[in-house]
């Protein structure tokens, strides 16, 4: 069973407009809502691929209730921890030319007693899974040490961990040595002061490997990804697609990667599934609503070479 932790879910709300406005009052011609947040996106893609998964999701207030309803509508299996405050909404304005502007609200600022309840729920959840995906941002100081503690707790129980986070939490979480890690370039630049250029990218992947992360991946947007395995540095080049909406491409990559791992595929094939899922996601406007039929044709087009 693949377990996914999402501490900062959101209602992903997209307003479709004839053009992005500079000012004034405008009426959207279409509005969509999905249960967002990195972990929820990953769960949706894994479900489409037929990989059993269950999430632990922290929700708060009326927005949290909306998230739970949207997840139920998508058939996503989850345990919920209700906390004080209000879960966030991410609002995206989308023009006819696919240009977009996104506004992210802050997540709930929970109390210390709430944080204790979240941790207790996590420990109970951890005992039900074989693989733990920690793909979440950290919304508040009360949860600042959650990711390193979660990685350590999983290791004690023999549960494999994958880390996908950003912001101030990333550096400490990497130091806790998850089995898999997939930061993107911008996230790692913030955490480690990554310099421009390909040499710095290669050095960053080598640094993750040297500190004990067995499967480090650095995602590079439309340039693909870098990874290391068994002393080899691998360069993953995606196919050229007509990109419509890049929201959720990193989450799609993680989902494809986990799917490959769950099937016992060689590491290069896991990377191939990740890159194919990300490319398939970029080619459609409705983020992280993928099918196997959209991903599989791209698999032969992914190039993986030793860098």
Task: Decide if 32 is inside a domain.
Answer: yes
Task: Decide if 98 is inside a domain.
Answer: yes
Q: In 3-state terms, what secondary structure has residue 277?
A: helix
Task: Decide if 213 is inside a domain.
Answer: no
- Reported as a single tens digit per residue, the pLDDT across 73-128 is 999 999 999 999 999 999 988 887 777 788 899 999 999 999 999 999 999 999 99
Q: In 3-state terms, what secondary structure has residue 267?
A: helix
Report the distance separating Cα 275 and Cα 253, nearest Å. 6
Q: Give the number of other CB atoms < 10 A from CB of residue 164.
A: 29
- Alpha carbon 260 to chain centroid, angstroms: 16
Task: Decide if 152 is inside a domain.
Answer: no
- Name, in order, each residue with C-beta under 8 angstroms of 239's C-beta and a sequence gap of 6 or more: 279, 298, 301, 302
* Mean pLDDT estimate for the chain: 93
Among the residue ranges 16-20, 290-294, 298-302, the one predicted with the least confidence is: 16-20
Residue 96's pLDDT is what? 79
Domains: count for the chain: 1
Task: Decide if 158 is inside a domain.
Answer: no
Task: Decide if 113 is inside a domain.
Answer: yes
Check which CATH number belongs to the domain holding 8 and give it: 3.40.1190.20
- Reported as a single tens digit per residue, the pLDDT across 255-265 is 999 999 999 99
- Reported as a single tens digit per residue, the pLDDT across 29-86 is 889 899 999 999 999 999 999 999 999 999 999 999 999 999 999 999 999 999 999 9
| Run of H or E residues at 209 | helix 198-210
Task: Decide if 302 is inside a domain.
Answer: no
Residue 195's pLDDT is what? 81
Task: Decide if 88 is inside a domain.
Answer: yes
- Reported as a single tens digit per residue, the pLDDT across 263-298 is 999 999 999 999 999 999 988 877 788 889 999 999
Q: Are 174 and 191 in contact (CB under 8 A)?
A: yes
Report the distance separating Cα 146 and Cα 101, nearest Å. 31
Q: Are 101 and 22 in contact (CB under 8 A)?
A: no
Token pair, residue 35, equals: 């249960």
* Strand ranges, E, within the chain: 2-6, 10-16, 30-36, 53-60, 78-83, 88-94, 100-104, 131-135, 160-164, 180-181, 215-219, 225-229, 232-237, 303-306
Structural domain harbouring 100: 1-19+28-143
């Amino acid at each position: 069973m693949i377990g996914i932790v999402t501490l900062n879910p959101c209602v992903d709300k997209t307003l479709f407009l004839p053009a992005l406005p500079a000012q004034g009052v405008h009426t959207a011609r279409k509005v969509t809502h999905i249960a967002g947040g990195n972990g929820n996106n990953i769960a949706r893609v894994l479900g489409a691929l037929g990989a059993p998964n269950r999430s632990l999701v922290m929700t708060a207030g009326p927005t949290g209730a909306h998230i739970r309803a949207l997840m139920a509508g998508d058939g996503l299996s989850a345990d919920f921890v209700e906390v004080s405050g209000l879960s966030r909404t991410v609002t995206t304005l989308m023009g006819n030319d696919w240009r977009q502007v996104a506004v992210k609200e802050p997540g709930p600022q929970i109390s210390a007693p709430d944080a204790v309840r979240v941790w207790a729920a996590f420990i109970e959840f951890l005992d039900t899974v074989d693989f733990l995906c920690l793909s979440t941002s950290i919304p508040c100081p009360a949860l600042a040490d959650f990711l390193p503690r979660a990685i350590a707790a999983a290791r004690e129980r023999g549960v494999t961990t994958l880390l996908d986070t950003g912001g101030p939490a990333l550096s400490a979480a990497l130091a806790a040595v998850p089995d898999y890690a997939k930061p993107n370039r911008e996230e790692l630049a913030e955490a480690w002061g990554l310099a421009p250029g390909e040499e710095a990218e290669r050095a960053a992947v080598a640094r993750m490997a040297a500190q004990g992360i067995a499967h480090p991946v650095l995602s590079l947007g439309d340039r693909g990804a870098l990874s290391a395995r068994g002393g080899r540095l691998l360069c993953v080049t995606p196919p050229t697609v007509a990109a419509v909406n890049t929201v959720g491409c990193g989450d799609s990559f993680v989902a494809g990667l986990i799917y490959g791992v769950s099937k016992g595929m060689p590491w290069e094939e896991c990377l191939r599934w990740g890159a194919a899922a990300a490319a398939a996601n970029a080619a459609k406007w409705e983020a992280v609503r993928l099918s196997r039929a959209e991903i599989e044709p791209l698999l032969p087009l992914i190039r993986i070479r030793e860098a």
